[in-house]
Amino acid sequence: MRHIAIVGAGPGDPGLLSCAARDALRGADLVVGARRLVEGTGGASRAGALPALFEGARTAVAARAADVAHALASDRDWVRACVLMSGDTGLFSGAEGTARAVADEPGLADCTVEVIPGISSASMLAARLGRPWQGWRFVTAHGAACDIVGEAARGGTVFLVTSGATGPAELCGRLVAAGLGDVEVVVAERLSYADERIESGTAAAFADRTFDSLNVMLVDLDGACARPWPWATPGIPDERFERGRVPMTKQEVRAVALAKLRVAETDTVFDVGAGTGSVTVELGLLARAGAVYAIERKPEAVELCRRNVAAFGLDNVRVVEGEAPGALRDLPAPDAVFVGGSGGALAGIMDALRLRAATCRICLTCVSLETLAEATRLLAAPDIEDVDICQVSVARAERAGSHSLMRASNPVFIVSVRLGRASGVLAGGAS
C-alpha cells in the first residue's frame, strides 16, 4: 500500500523540521507542494534550502488541494509521497482540504495518509518576541475577508496571516481610518530566512509602508478602548448616535428587537428603512463576520446613517439608497431582516423577501394599531412560522424640580417570525 505524508514545513527553515518530517521527506519518491517549498524559491534560510532534504525525489508544484490530489494521482510510479504545507498543518493550513481531496480521488484509493505537524509562524514569532501565545486570537486575511476593525472591538491580541492584497499596510490603514492609529503592531517578514525582519510600531506608522509578501502580523488591541461601543450587549444609548430630524428606534426597543431577531456573527442582514442607522450599527456589531445592508430612501437619512456607521468603524455595512421592495432586488439572500420602515409597502417587501431566501428570521416593530393589523394579516400566511408578538412600554425618569418623574414613550409592538416552509424573509421596526 502506498503512503502519503502531509508535512507541515514550518516557516521555511529546514532546521525547524521535526525528525518525523525529515524522515518522511528523505524517504519520499515524490514531493508535492507550493513552489517556494518544493523549489526553494523563497530564498536561503539559516539552515540551508529545504529541497536538499529530498534531493533525488521527483517533485511537482501544486498548492490547491485539487491540484495536489491530481499531481499525486497522475504519477503512479511512487510508493511514498510527501505533500509540503507551509507552517503548521493545524493553523490556516490546506492540510484538511488536501486530505479530503486525496480521499475523493479514485486513483489514490490504495493510499494511507499521515499528517505530520510543523512549527507555525505564530509559535515562531512568539518565540522571537519572548512571549507566550496561548491567549492570542488567530485570524486570516489570506484569501479571506478580514474585519480588523471588528477584531479591534473585541480587544486582546490578534495574530494575522496576511496576503498580498490584504497586507499589513491595508489592515493598518483600516485601523487608522477607525481612529485606532495608536494600536501597537508587530510585522514579521520572511520568518526563519536569512533576511528575516521583525518590526514593532503603531498602525499609523505602518499604514503607508511596503512589506514583503511573506509576512505575518501581531496586533495588540487591549489599548483600543477608544472604540465607540466596547461591550457585547445591544442597546447602545441613544445619545451615542447622531440623530438630526430623522426618526430613530429607541434604545430599549432596539435591545428587545435585536434579541428577538437573533443575529449570528456570520449572518447577512437587512435593515429596511434604516433611518438614522441606530439598528444598522447594532446589527453591524453583531454580524461582525457577516454583512449588513441598510436600505433607506430619504437622502437626509442616508447620509446620517452613513455618518453613524462610520463613527462606529463598521466596514461590514453597506448603506443602500433606494426604496423597498425594489432596492432589495440585487442584494444577496438574507439570514435575518429588520424592517425599520415599510413606507406602506409591507406586503411588497414580504413578497420580495420570499424571492431572496429559502428561510430567514424577521423582526418588525409597529407603533400604530393599523400597522400591527396589517402585519398580523400578512403573517397568517402558511410559510410563516414561530410568530411571537410582544408590546414594549418604556418610561424614563426626568427631573422636575427636586423630584424625578417617569415620562412614558409610545408603546411599541414587536413582531418576530421565521419565514420557513415556502421561502422568504421579513423583519421590521423603526430604526
Separation in Å, CA 232 to CA 43, 252, 268, 278, 282: 45, 15, 19, 16, 10
3-state secondary structure of 187: strand
Q: Give the model's pLDDT for residue 259.
A: 95
List the beta bridge partners of residue 158: 137, 219
Q: Are strands 268-272 and 215-220 parallel, antiparallel or unpaired?
A: unpaired
Residue indicated by cell numbers 429588520: 338
With a CB cutoff of 8 Å and minimum separation 6, the contacts of 76 are: 107
How many Cα atoms sit within 13 Å of 223 on the Cβ side? Answer: 12
Q: Give the whole-angstrom CA distance, residue 414 versus residue 390.
A: 5
Contact between 260 and 288 under an 8 Å Cβ cutoff? The reply is: no
With a CB cutoff of 8 Å and minimum separation 6, the contacts of 343 are: 273, 297, 323, 324
CB neighbours of residue 246 within 10 Å: 21
Mean pLDDT, each 10-residue run in order, the chain (431 residues): 96 93 96 94 82 94 96 94 96 95 95 97 96 94 80 86 84 87 94 94 94 94 66 88 88 94 94 94 91 94 94 89 91 92 83 84 90 87 90 89 88 90 43 48
Q: Are strands 157-161 and 137-140 parallel, antiparallel or unpaired?
A: parallel
Q: Give the model's pLDDT for residue 424.
A: 40
Q: Give the model's pLDDT for residue 351.
A: 87
Instruction: Quickly count helices (H) and strands (E) in the chain.
Output: 13, 19
DSSP 383-409: TEEEEEEEEE--EEEEEETTEEEEEEP
Q: Give the model's pLDDT for residue 278.
A: 95
